[in-house]
Amino acid sequence: MTGNLRPVRFLLVEDDDDHADLILRAMMESRIVNVVERISDGESAIKYLQRAAPYEYAERPDVVLLDLNLPKLNGHELLAWIKQNPSFRNVPVVVLTTSAAEVDVARAYTSQANSYLVKPLDFEQFDRMVRSLQLYWAVWNTPSRA
Amino acid sequence: MAQRDVEAVGAEEIHEVLEAAPVGMIKVDSNGRVIFTNRELERMFRYSREQLRGAPLDVLIPDRYRVAHAEHLRRFSEMPQTRKMAVGRELFGRRSDGTEFPVDVALNPVVSGNQPFVVASVIDVTEQHESAKQLTQLAADLKERNEELERFVITVSHDLKSPLVTMLGYLGHLQRDLEAGRIEEQQEYVQRIRRAGERMKLKIDDLLSFSRVGRDGVEPSMVNIASVIQNLLDLKSEELEAKHIRVHMSCTTEALCCDPSHFERVIDNLLVNAMRYGCANPSPEVWIQVRQLPDQMVELIVADNGTGVDQKYAERVFELFQRLSSDGEGTGVGLAIVRKIANWYGGRAWVDERLGGGAQFHVTFSINRRVPVEEKAPGLPGQSSEIKPAQPQAATGTSGRSPGATL
Quote the pLDDT of residue B196: 94
State whether B326 and A15 contact (CB < 8 Å).
yes
Question: d(Cα B253, Cα B297) in Å, to the nearest integer?
Answer: 10
State whether B159 and A69 contact (CB < 8 Å).
yes
Q: Which of B165, B200, B311 to mutate to test the interface with A (most CBs of A within 10 A)?
A: B165
Q: Which residues of chain A have pLDDT under 70?
A: 1-5, 31, 140-146
What are the respective helix, strand and coil percentages of chain B, to the nearest 5? 45, 20, 30
> Would you call A72 an interface residue with chain B, using a CB distance cutoff of 8 Å?
yes
State whether B166 and A126 contact (CB < 8 Å).
no
Q: What interface predicted TM-score (ipTM) does this complex get?
A: 0.88
State whether A126 and B172 contact (CB < 8 Å).
yes
What does each of the 407 residues of chain B score in pLDDT, given as a tens digit?
455 555 556 778 888 888 889 999 999 988 889 999 999 999 999 999 999 999 998 899 998 887 777 777 767 666 666 666 656 678 899 999 999 999 998 888 888 888 888 899 999 999 999 999 999 999 998 998 888 888 888 888 888 889 999 999 999 999 999 999 998 999 999 999 999 999 999 989 988 888 888 776 677 788 888 899 999 999 999 999 998 999 999 888 778 888 888 889 999 999 998 888 877 788 899 999 999 888 888 899 999 998 889 898 999 899 888 878 766 677 888 899 999 999 888 899 999 988 888 999 999 988 776 544 344 333 333 333 333 333 334 444 444 333 333 33
Question: d(Cα A44, Cα A39) in Å, to the nearest integer?
Answer: 7
Which residues of chain B neighbour A101 with C-beta distances below 8 Å?
Answer: 154, 157-158
Q: Say if residues B270 and B310 touch (Cβ distance below 8 Å).
A: no
Q: Say if residues B342 and B365 touch (Cβ distance below 8 Å).
A: yes
B83 DSSP β-pair partners: B107
B328/chain A closest Cα distance in angstroms: 7
Length of chain A measured in residues: 146
> Would you call B196 an interface residue with chain A, using a CB distance cutoff of 8 Å?
yes
Which residues of chain B neighbour A41 with C-beta distances below 8 Å?
Answer: 326
Other C-beta atoms within 10 Å of B263: how many? 23
Q: Cα–Cα distances in Å, from B120 out to B32, B51, B73, B112, B345?
A: 12, 18, 12, 15, 53
Question: d(Cα A84, Cα B226) in Å, to the nearest integer?
Answer: 52
Q: What is the pTM for the complete model shown? A: 0.68
Residue B160: burial class (beta carbons within 10 Å; 0-12, 13-18, 19+): middle
Q: Which of B159, B162, B188 to mutate to test the interface with A (most CBs of A within 10 A)?
A: B162
Which residues of chain B neighbour A22 with C-beta distances below 8 Å?
Answer: 165-166, 169-170
Quote the pLDDT of residue A141: 63
Quote the pLDDT of residue B277: 81
Mark which residues 146-175 of B lie under 8 Å from A by CB.
154, 157-159, 161-162, 164-166, 168-173, 175
Quote the pLDDT of residue B402: 37
Q: Who among B158, B164, B310 is closest to A69 (CB)?
A: B158
Q: Angle at which helices B126-180 and A17-29 pack, to 10 degrees?
A: 50
Question: d(Cα A42, Cα A75) in Å, to the nearest integer?
Answer: 7
